[in-house]
Amino acid sequence: MSTEQLHFLKGHGTENDFVIVPDPAGLIDLSAADVARLCDRRAGVGADGLLRVVRSDAHPEGRRMAAGAEWFMDYRNADGSLAEMCGNGVRVFARYLQRAGLVETGDLAVGTRAGMRRVHLAKDGDVTVAMGRAVLAEGPDTDVTVAVGGRSWPARNVGMGNPHAVAFVADLADAGRLYEPPEVTPASAYPAGVNVEFVADRGPRHVAMRVHERGSGETRSCGTGACAVAVATARRDGADPAATGRPETYTVDVPGGRLVVTEHPDGEVEMTGPAVIVAEGDTAPGWL
C-alpha cells in the first residue's frame, strides 16, 4: 500500500459493519495486513470486514460477470482473508452505489466471488438481495457437530455461497462468549473454515441467532447466515418450497436488528433488511 491518504466510508447492515473503499478503476492494492489494520477496532477505523468497490471489468475475478454486473464487491474479512460472499455487505455495497449517484432506486446486479447477485433498492430504504440457492450437504459431511465449552449440538451443513453450520439451541446464551471459533467436526466438512450459527425459536416462522464468522469472530449480524438459518429451520419444520410450490418466509432476529428471508419454490433465497452509511473520511497521510 502506498503512503497516500485512503478515502473510505463506513456503513452497516443490522450492525454488521464495513469499511468501504471506492476503487472504480481497481488501482488500490490492499494487502491482508492493510485490511486488518483498517478493520482494527482500537487502532483503525474498525469493522467486521472491508468492501472494495471496483468496476467488474477492472477486477480479475469480476470480468466474467462484467456483461451482467457493472460493479464487483471485493469483500475481505476483518483479518484480511478473502470471502466468497457477504449478504449484509451486498446491501451496504448497493447503498454506497446509490449514495454515490452510481445507481438509482430499483434493480441492479452486483458481482461477487460467489457469483452475480440481484439487488433491489426499495423506496422505503430496505434492500432486498437475491442470494442464490442454498446447498444442503449430503453424504458423509451431512452429520456435523458444533461444540462450545464442553457442550455440543448437531448442526446442519448449509452452503450460501460460503459455508455455514447451523445449530439449534434452547437459549442463545448456550453459545457462550464466542471469543474463539466453535469446534466443528468433522473438519473435512469445511476445509476452508466455516461460519457457525446458533439458533433459538421465538415463535412461528420466527427465530433468533448468534453467529461466529470465520476471520471476524462474533458479529452483530450475518446475512448469508440468516439465509442458511431460515432454510435449515424450514427443513427442521418440515417445510420445503420445492415440494409444496409455496414460498416460505422466516423472520430472523440478530443482535443488530432483524432480517426477513424468503425461500421460493425454484430455490432462490431472498433476504431483506436495512443498509446505512454512517461516515466518510480519509486516513491520515502515511498511516498505511
For residue 242, the surrounding DSSP H or E stretch is helix 241-244
Give the start-end residues of each E strand in 44-83.
Answer: 49-55, 71-77
Domains with residue ranges and CATH for the chain: 7-130+275-282 (3.10.310.10), 135-266 (3.10.310.10)
Q: Is 224 annotated as a binding residue?
A: yes
Residue whose entry in the numeric block shows the C-alpha cell 466453535: 182
DSSP 8-state symbol, 14: T
Q: Is 77 annotated as a binding residue?
A: yes
User: Which residues lie closer than 8 Å to 225 by C-beta, 6 or more apart?
Assistant: 87, 160, 164, 195, 197, 209, 211, 213
Residue 142: its pLDDT value, please? 77
* Grid cell at residue 58: 477492472
| Cα gap 7→5, rounded to integer Å | 6
Q: Is 157 annotated as a binding residue?
A: no
- Is-catalytic flag, 222? yes
Taking Cα atoms as reference points, which of 214, 279, 283, 219 lies closest to residue 44?
A: 283
Catalytic hit among 222, 227, 229, 252: 222
* Grid cell at residue 82: 478473502
CB 89 within 8 A of CB 51: yes
pLDDT in tens, the chain (288 residues): 455 799 999 999 999 999 999 999 999 999 999 999 999 999 999 999 999 999 999 999 999 999 999 999 999 999 999 999 999 999 999 999 999 999 999 999 999 999 999 999 999 899 999 999 999 988 766 789 999 999 999 999 999 999 999 999 999 999 999 999 999 999 899 999 999 999 999 999 999 999 999 999 999 999 999 999 999 999 999 999 999 999 999 999 999 999 999 999 999 999 999 999 999 999 999 998
Q: Is 87 annotated as a binding residue?
A: yes
Residue 193: its pLDDT value, please? 94
| Cα gap 74→93, rounded to integer Å | 10
CB 226 within 8 A of CB 261: yes
Residue 122: its pLDDT value, please? 95
Catalytic hit among 86, 97, 230, 271: 86
